[in-house]
Structures are given as structure tokens and as C-alpha cells.
Amino acid sequence: MLVAYQGVPGAYSEMAARFLFPDCETLPCETFDDVFAAVEKKKADRGVVPVENSLAGSIHQNYDLLVSHKLKVIGETYVRVEHALMALPATKRATVHSVRSHPQALAQCSAFFAENPRVKPVTWYDTAGAARSLAEARETDPASVAGVAAIASEAAAEIYGLKILKKKLQNRALNFTRFLATARAGTRTPVPSPGETKTSLTFIPVRNRAGVLHAITGVFAAHDVDLTKIESRPDPDNAFDYRFHLDAITGPHDPALKKILAALKPLTRELRVLGSYARAKVPGNREH
């Protein structure tokens, strides 16, 4: 099985792909859009993308891509994020003046930059990609990365021959990113067993009806179905209208799901089930 992910070897997305599909081969992609396109165009069998981080929040681009592409969500996993500050072997921590990494990683390490105001955060397309850029510069123009560091996983430092200047750079010890696995619609995938199954939906409420969002969430409450997430995103086709993404603890084995979907139809202008899949346990949480 070939699984597409955004980034380069050593990226957290690659770790997630191997957690979800242990025997897979991986296909690195430059952008999240490329991951969705690779699955849609049958260049890959599955895709894995991050959707939210426990410290920095949602990755909105991927929620939008779930809507614009016709893939289905078939699984989820949580990857513990332990960022490390790394640089070329000759670099000393005191000489670091700029740090490259993905915007989410930079946000997750904001306390480091607050404590070191002379160090400039530099946005990079990927954590492991930032690490690789230092290794590549060592061969072509080492002077250009003098005093430049990267924030990435310890695995990336090992892969690209970098020296770790500081471990556990993130603001808080409990730092996890949630990843979703996708497949083409119609692909045969394992049916989640009864019990802890999660279903992801997206919908746009009907207009000009007071309390419509309350009514929508009330449908789930009336069927004793727990909601684990609800988030709004702008509707690009209608200014200041909003689309909602919702995760509920229910699935195809639950008789309530069919009733819920039927009750939601008159309350929504658009309603789509993104997928049902086994609910992953959040590592580090005392209660599930």
C-alpha cells in the first residue's frame, strides 16, 4: 500500500502514516493539496494529513480540502509531538539568530521565541523540510546557514545529520497532533466495529432560521450521541456564511445515525458524511 503525506522523511506526517498503515510504503508530497490529489488521481492508495494540534489548534487548510475533494475519512491517529532545536554540527546554540520550521511548530514553541527575542522564527513548508534545508546547504553554501537552526523531530535530526541543541522545545509536554487517513470514495476499507466509532460530518445550516445551530446540535443530544468537535469555516461561495465540521461518537452500527441524518436534512442546505472510522485514544489523557 502506498500512502501519501506532506513533507519529507522524518516529518510527523510520515510517522502518522506508519502508525496507521504499519507495512506501507510512503509517498512524500510537497503540499497538502498534493496529498489529496495523489489519492484522487490514484497515484497513492491512501493519504494522511494533520487536522488539529492540542496546542496550536486546527489546521484549517485541511478541513477545507476535505470539502473540496471527494475522498472519505477512514481512520485517525494521534502523534506525540516532541520538537527539537537542531543545526549543523559546528553551530553553537548561542550563535543561533533564526529558526526555520512549519508555522504550527513555530506556534507550538512560542515560549522559546519569547525567551529569546533576538532569534527570528522563519516559516518553512515542513518541519523535516526545514531540517533537510540545513543539510543541503552544508553541501552547497554552508555560510548561508551559519547561525540558522530548525525545529523538527529528533528523527529528522538523525536522518539529516544535524546536532540537537535543545530537546522538548514545545511549550507544553502534552503536545499531540491528530491525523486523518483518507481513501477514494468507493474504496473497500474495514468497517469499524461497534463501540467507539467516530463519524465526521460537514454541513451548512439553512439561512434565516433562529436557533438553527442549537437545533442541529440538539438532534445529537436527543439521540444521546456525544459530540467531540464542532468548528466553523467560512463558506467561500457566500460571504459571511459558514460551513461547520462536526465529529460525533456514532457510526454505521448505530441505529441512531440514520435517524440523525434524516433529522439534519431540513436544518441544512448541504450535508455530507466525510466518513466513519475507529476512534483513536488520545495518548496522555487520563479519561477517554
Q: Which residues are catalytic?
A: 177, 179
Three-state SS at 287: coil
Q: Residue 258 CB: number of other CB atoms within 10 A? A: 11
Query: Which residues on adjacent β-strands are paired with residue 76?
Result: 180
Three-state SS at 157: helix
Half-sphere exposure of 164 (CA within 13 A, CB side): 15
The beta-strand segments (E) located in the chain are: 2-6, 25-29, 46-53, 57-58, 71-80, 84-87, 98-101, 120-123, 148-152, 163-166, 176-184, 197-205, 227-234, 242-248, 268-278
